[in-house]
């Protein structure tokens, strides 16, 4: 009787042991299933350090107003460079009495009062957002000014702008709205991309309220006179070129950081030196482009046989 009881107890404990081992193996089953490993190919690329910021541009601009109401006939094309004293448009008075010969109506040629680019479009801020005001006036009030964009039509009223001249021989200035000015120094340059132009702009002034910097570009920035306030790209750190892998591939084994790579059918751990990184990728030193990298690293992968045909 005692012998049967002892065997029953052994069966119970044996069952519990098998259940425990089975549970542990089930919990860690993914460590032994190569199909659960995900790979990505290491590829040559670039880590960029860029940030979108808003710029408010200032140039030397001179609006041309109509001395009387009438119809406009443009002589110069939109965006054309003109010399001082050159004719840009003619204004024909429409105020003649009924029956009066149109040839006797008042007519006047409008001249460029300075050399530069002639534009049909104005925004009412030509004499407000200037390079001088940008460095001397209250920035909060200045950048809060509302533009009233207007493109002159076939007719204008007395005092209305027919167009404007922008002196494109004078470098453009701009106020860049930043979240922080820490580390920026007056006199130093920062790299800015405006449209397709990438240039080094010199910092003229730092501002804590509003937060940002006033910069001087090396030349006139195309488009800054038409789109006075626009988003630009601040390249706050030089880019890094090299072989990139997803950030998820990094793994710390002991005190060493590295990646698991696939070589001759086996997963191997390789110590890696990170040269640069962003929110998605890391640039690894001395890593071969095109090699499969594990992007789901975990313990137990070293020496595991794996298939990477479906990458």
As beta bridge partners, residue 192 has 199, 234
How many residues can be counted in the chain?
311
CA–CA gap between residue 19 and residue 23 (Å, rounded): 6
Per-residue pLDDT of the chain (311 residues; tens, 9 = 90+): 555 555 555 554 555 555 554 444 434 444 444 557 899 999 999 999 999 999 999 999 999 999 999 999 999 999 999 999 999 999 999 755 444 455 556 899 999 999 999 999 999 999 999 999 998 999 999 999 998 999 877 889 999 999 999 999 999 999 999 999 999 999 999 999 999 999 999 999 999 999 999 999 999 999 999 999 999 999 999 999 999 999 999 999 988 999 999 988 899 999 999 999 999 999 999 999 999 999 999 998 988 888 776 55
pLDDT value, residue 307: 79
| Residue linked to tokens 């001087």 | 216
CA–CA gap between residue 250 and residue 257 (Å, rounded): 7
Candidates 288, 185, 200; CA nearest to 238 is 200
Contact 228, 129 (CB under 8 A): yes
Cis peptide before 279 (omega within 30 of 0): no
User: What is residue 102's three-state secondary structure?
Assistant: helix
CA–CA gap between residue 173 and residue 29 (Å, rounded): 63
pLDDT value, residue 310: 55
pLDDT value, residue 18: 54
**Exposed / middle / buried, residue 141 (Cβ in 10 Å: 0-12, 13-18, 19+):** exposed
| DSSP H/E element including 39 | strand 39-41
| DSSP H/E element including 16 | helix 2-27
pLDDT value, residue 153: 77
165 is written with which tokens? 């001249």
Phi, psi angles (nearest 5°) of residue 133: -65, -30
Domain 60-169's class?
mainly beta
CA–CA gap between residue 3 and residue 26 (Å, rounded): 34
Predicted TM-score (pTM) of this structure: 0.77
pLDDT value, residue 23: 47
pLDDT value, residue 37: 86
CA–CA gap between residue 293 and residue 250 (Å, rounded): 10
Contact 117, 225 (CB under 8 A): yes
pLDDT value, residue 10: 53
């Amino acid at each position: 009787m005692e012998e049967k009881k002892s065997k029953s107890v052994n069966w119970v404990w044996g069952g519990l042991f098998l259940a425990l081992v089975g549970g542990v193996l089930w919990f860690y089953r993914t460590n032994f299933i190569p199909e659960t490993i995900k790979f990505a190919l290491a590829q040559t690329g670039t880590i960029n350090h860029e940030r979108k910021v808003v710029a408010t541009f200032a140039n030397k601009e001179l609006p041309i107003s109509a001395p009387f109401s009438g119809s406009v006939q443009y002589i110069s094309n939109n965006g054309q460079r003109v010399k001082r004293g050159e004719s840009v448009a003619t204004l024909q008075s429409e105020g003649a009495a009924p029956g009066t010969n149109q040839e006797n109506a008042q007519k006047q040629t409008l001249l460029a009062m300075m050399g530069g680019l002639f534009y049909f479009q104005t925004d009412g801020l030509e004499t407000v957002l200037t390079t001088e005001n940008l460095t001397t006036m209250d920035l909060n009030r200045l950048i809060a000014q509302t533009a009233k964009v207007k493109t002159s039509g076939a007719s204008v009223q007395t005092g209305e702008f027919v167009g404007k001249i922008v002196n494109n021989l004078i470098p453009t200035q701009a106020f860049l709205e930043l979240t922080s000015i820490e580390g920026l120094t007056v006199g130093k340059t920062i790299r800015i991309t405006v449209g397709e132009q990438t240039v080094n702009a010199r910092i003229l002034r730092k501002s804590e309220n509003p937060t940002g910097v006033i910069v001087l570009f090396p030349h006139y920035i195309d488009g800054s006179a038409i789109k006075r306030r626009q988003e630009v790209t601040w390249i706050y750190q030089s880019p890094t070129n090299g072989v990139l892998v997803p950030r998820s591939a990094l793994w710390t084994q002991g005190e060493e950081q590295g990646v698991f790579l696939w070589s001759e059918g086996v997963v191997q751990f390789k110590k890696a030196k990170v040269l640069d990184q962003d929110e998605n990728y890391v640039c690894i030193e001395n890593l071969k482009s095109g090699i499969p990298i594990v992007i789901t690293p975990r313990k137990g992968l070293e020496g595991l046989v794996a298939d990477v045909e479906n990458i």
